[in-house]
Amino acid sequence: MDLYAENILEHYRSPRGKKPINDGAWSVVHHEDNPSCGDELTIGLKVENGKITAVAWDGSGCAISQAAMSMLSEELIGKDIADAPGKKEVLELLGVPVSARRMKCAMLGLHTLLNAAKKIEGGKLNS
């Protein structure tokens, strides 16, 4: 098996940062789903002075969506919310070619993160 595919399966089987999210413990919580395949993710972010200090996520779906969120969550700690990885970086983290059909799966975590960031920028933070 390809080394990158093994890495995806490792993140899928032992996801980093995945745990139940209690809304009151996070600066912002946001949920997204992909109705075309049923994948879903909820992300919780703690943000202090514009920097991400903690990340948690929960959800279900295919190996690509879950592994991408696991990998993304490892990249976020200590980053300024504006400097979060983008599409290119997420694809580099996955390290495998992603077909057009699977691109929504691969980008679900990033999409969820970006919409959570919009809540932060819009002042919709938990107190």
Residue boundaries of the structural domains of the chain: 3-121
Secondary structure class of 120 (helix, strand, coil): helix
Per-residue tokens: 72 = 């993304």
**The CATH number of the domain covering residues in 3-121:** 3.90.1010.10
pTM: 0.89
Q: What does DSSP say about strands 51-60 and 28-34: parallel, antiparallel, or unpaired? A: unpaired
Contact 26, 48 (CB under 8 A): no
**Model confidence pLDDT, tens digit, residues 47-86:** 998 899 999 999 999 999 999 999 999 999 999 988 889 9
